[in-house]
Structure 1
């Protein structure tokens, strides 16, 4: 069944990127529909591991227009989910969920957005699907006989009590999970290179300011001061720093074959890929090949820090401005 109404914009994804874009589209008076595949508000934050927190304090973790409520320390996922639910309610966005978008077509200036049950028409489409639903696991020869996990479905430390665990990955998720497990399990932390620790005084607040400087420099055609990775790969959250300093968090050279891994469990902390399946046929590489298609919230290639709550604002605003101009809103 197709809904004959033509929306000014349809946003695919109701997490932080979709909500930030909807905020600016609402201010511009654009008739907007959000299609979200989750059962309730919160986006990917509904699925992170139990101990995961933001890198920033609440006052540096705001979507446009509405501050995050105060929290003592780095807010946990539950605090973020509650904030996103409140944000939706505050701005009364039109959101349909759960809706799994399977394909987006374009013909004669109109997009058709398909789900198994229904389709919708729009002048513009914003892909804000994030990456959490597309975990990446590299291919290695050999076989591992234990249980394999990914940071996307890591359940917390309790199920691993007293067991041996191999953790793969030299960035934040690998360090955080290895540090947490080192308190209850025998951990081998595999990395392809020596860990690149950020300075101990760098957290999300510092990264936020750096990303703002980058965004302004790029906007003004000035020299890009460089990405966060110039500072290192791992933010020194308190439990990570304590594990490193106590000697529980030490790297092991990356294996060449899965046959070498003798642990009970293997956890891949090897990142994600953009979940662009529904719009993949409308892209030229990472660039929209069709006017009216916009990508928001996919990391540095859609804007400095755009995969973060605070950092998504500039790219969301730019997409909304382009849509508004195209519609003459």
Structure 2
């Protein structure tokens, strides 16, 4: 059976995939978008309940649709979910939810074969925009695998109530780690374990949110500024002053990274041992692009995309949107995916040998 199919398949319908679909529609293409979840809202419904964006609404919108409400408010998780759902419904794009991409392979004609839910579609271009939530990063901490308490990742965390009264160590010093630790400290005894001192950065400078300054000054994409923003000397934590004040009370407190876990104890850098109930890993994520394993050279030995600016170093027609520091500090955020999507699609179109729609074969896998 033959179907009219687009030149472009976008994998993922979260913020990155929707931005890619928007860029495609602006270019006159009819993208086919696969989304494994039941709604085109990405991973947002699975983040912790109290999450709020670290950027204001005016800097948290996708192209073509402002974020509703006061442009200076900081949207909640549920507000982002509603925004993405509305954005998807306004796109004139074929978004197929509940369709998980199983694999991508090179096709004999130089394009790609994308298999999802038992069907294989041939296409000229693929944009991988599945983000990282499906692949939480679990660092190789000494004793972690044999720890007899509870080990959680922020991907597992929803609210503090189930952990009330417990002794908790949060590993990590970024925005989410600090926000979760402070929330937990209202119900439990909490320590932030980090390799560097916490680095607080003012949320506002001279009356403007820091994200506006980053965009105005070009620091978002300045190579020399990257060490200041990537956490090599501690991950920057945006703060109005309330986080610093709460940590100054001693719950949560911040300590240097422990040397190891031993049974149900943590061994601190000064040699002290302390029993703990929960180790919560606020250690981030890695791109969830395992479906590209069959595209030789697309991923490195750690399963990370090999790319420059979101364009594959090996395969013409293969691109990525939503990777951390893909082109700028904002690349993995609502604020940054739109510009990256337009850049990547433009590069892919220039690479394409046949930049027009075709009738392509859809067959059983």
* TM-score between the two structures when normalised by the length of structure 2: 0.81
Distance 2:4 2:194 in 1: 52
Tell me whether 1:210 sits opposite 2:214 in the alignment.
yes
Contact 1:57 1:204 in 2 (8 A): no
In the TM superposition, what whole-angstrom CA distance separates every residue of 1:120-150 from its partner, at most 9, and x where no partner exists? 1211000001011110111233321111110
Greater fraction strand = 2
Distance 2:208 2:162 in 1: 30
2:191 aligns with: 188
Q: Which moved more, 1:87-96 or 1:70-79?
A: 70-79
Displacement after TM superposition at 1:200 (Å): 4.8
1:146 aligns with: 149
Contact 1:134 1:275 in 2 (8 A): yes
Structure 1 stretches lacking a partner, 5+ long? none
Contact 1:12 1:128 in 2 (8 A): yes
**Matching of residues 230-309 of structure 1 within 5 Å:** 233-236=236-239, 240-259=243-262, 260-261=265-266, 262-282=275-295, 283=298, 285=300, 286-287=306-307, 288=312, 289-309=314-334
2:359 aligns with: none
Displacement after TM superposition at 1:320 (Å): 2.1
Displacement after TM superposition at 1:244 (Å): 2.4
Displacement after TM superposition at 1:232 (Å): 5.1
2:360 aligns with: none
Tell me whether 1:166 sits opposite 2:169 in the alignment.
yes
Q: What secondary structure sits across from 1:301 in the alignment? A: coil
Contact 2:167 2:190 in 1 (8 A): yes
Displacement after TM superposition at 1:4 (Å): 5.0
Distance 2:208 2:276 in 1: 34
Distance 2:51 2:285 in 1: 17
Displacement after TM superposition at 1:224 (Å): 4.7
Contact 1:164 1:265 in 2 (8 A): yes
1:25 aligns with: 24
Contact 1:44 1:132 in 2 (8 A): yes
Q: Which moved more, 1:124-133 or 1:110-119?
A: 110-119
Q: What secondary structure sits across from 1:96 in the alignment? A: strand
Distance 1:215 1:102 in 2: 38
Distance 1:237 1:117 in 2: 50
Contact 1:18 1:128 in 2 (8 A): yes
Contact 2:318 2:348 in 1 (8 A): no
Displacement after TM superposition at 1:3 (Å): 6.4
Structure 2 stretches lacking a partner, 5+ long? 267-274, 301-305, 357-365
- 1:125–1:93 Cα change, 3 Å: same
Any runs of at least 4 consecutive aligned residues in structure 1 with deviations exceeding 3 A, and if so which? 2-6, 202-205, 211-218, 223-227, 229-232
- 1:140–1:129 Cα change, 3 Å: same
Distance 2:204 2:165 in 1: 33
- 1:264–1:274 Cα change, 3 Å: same
Displacement after TM superposition at 1:195 (Å): 1.2
Contact 1:211 1:305 in 2 (8 A): no
Tell me whether 1:128 sits opposite 2:129 in the alignment.
yes
* TM-score between the two structures when normalised by the length of structure 1: 0.90
Contact 1:3 1:118 in 2 (8 A): no
Contact 1:6 1:123 in 2 (8 A): no
Tell me whether 1:317 sits opposite 2:345 in the alignment.
no
Distance 1:124 1:239 in 2: 47
Distance 2:208 2:77 in 1: 15
Greater fraction helix = 1
2:14 aligns with: 15
Distance 2:241 2:42 in 1: 26
Distance 2:112 2:54 in 1: 37
Work out the number of aligned pairs and report it.
324
Displacement after TM superposition at 1:208 (Å): 4.9
Q: What secondary structure sits across from 1:86 in the alignment? A: helix
- Higher-Rg member (1/2): 2
